[in-house]
Amino acid sequence: MRRASQAAAAARPISRVRARTETLLLDAALRLFARQGVGATAIHEIAAEAGVSNGTFYNYFRTRDEVVEAVSVRLAERLQEEITASAADVTDAAERMAIGTRRFVLQAVRDPVWAAALIRVSTSRAAPLARTAAPALHDLRLGRRQGRFTYRNEVAALDLITGTVLAGMRSVLEGRAGAEHPALVAGLVLRGLGISAAEADALVRRPLP
């Protein structure tokens, strides 16, 4: 991030109208990606869903990939806030993990559109997954340092976490899961990371912050 670009940005403050239209477009894209998937969503549909004209889209994004990218960033940002807000002052890695995994699956219950978009986007592009998984990786390492988690390989442990959580979200979206699903999924992940069954149970029963 160079000074110059910052200065340029400062020089032409984004107008309120422009910001609003961009939000309309991003929200529309997110809804459609969730509903129909990334590949099946046409640009004119996004424009129509946002209530603007076809051409307006191109005042904001140059290509379709650019919207997909922007939507991913937006999804990731919401995640970050989610994670940060939830577990800011929790220091035990196991507890952090219990919170994070449950929040994700819970979010699929609360905001299926968001969850569907996350799944859709994360299966269509490899990049954003890394971004989304960053906090998990952080807690994983923390847990090992704290002697809470025992695992031989970081990549495999991340597979356990991200794979199980994503599958859990899908189960929620497809109606196979009950209200307990966030806790159940979190419990299995914790056991996989070496937490005893009893403690895992206890951890996932604590109220979410």
Partner DNA sequence: GATGAATGAGGATTCATTCAT
Partner DNA sequence: AATGAATGAATCCTCATTCAT
Q: Which residues bind a second copy (CB under 8 A)?
A: 37, 39-40, 123-124, 126, 150-153, 155-160, 162-168, 170-171, 174, 176-178, 180-181, 184-185, 187-189, 191-194, 197
Query: 3-state DSSP: the chain helix, strand, coil percent, rounded to 5?
Result: 75, 0, 25
- State the binding partner of 3 from DNA, a second copy, none, CB within 5 to 8 A by kind: none
> For residue 34, what are its two tokens?
């969730």
Nearer to a second copy, 114 or 149 (CB): 149
- State the binding partner of 44 from DNA, a second copy, none, CB within 5 to 8 A by kind: DNA
Residues 6+ apart with CB under 8 A from 74: 26, 30
Residue linked to tokens 């971004």: 131
What CA–CA distance (Å, rounded) separates 208 from 88? 12
# residues contacting DNA (CB under 7 A): 20
What CA–CA distance (Å, rounded) separates 201 from 106? 17
Question: What does the per-residue mask of binding to DNA show for 56-95, with x meaning CB under 7 A?
Answer: xxxxx-xxx-------------------------------
Give the residue among 46, 101, 111 at the shortest CA–CA distance from 75: 111
Nearer to a second copy, 145 or 152 (CB): 152
Q: Does 5 bind DNA (CB under 7 A)?
A: no
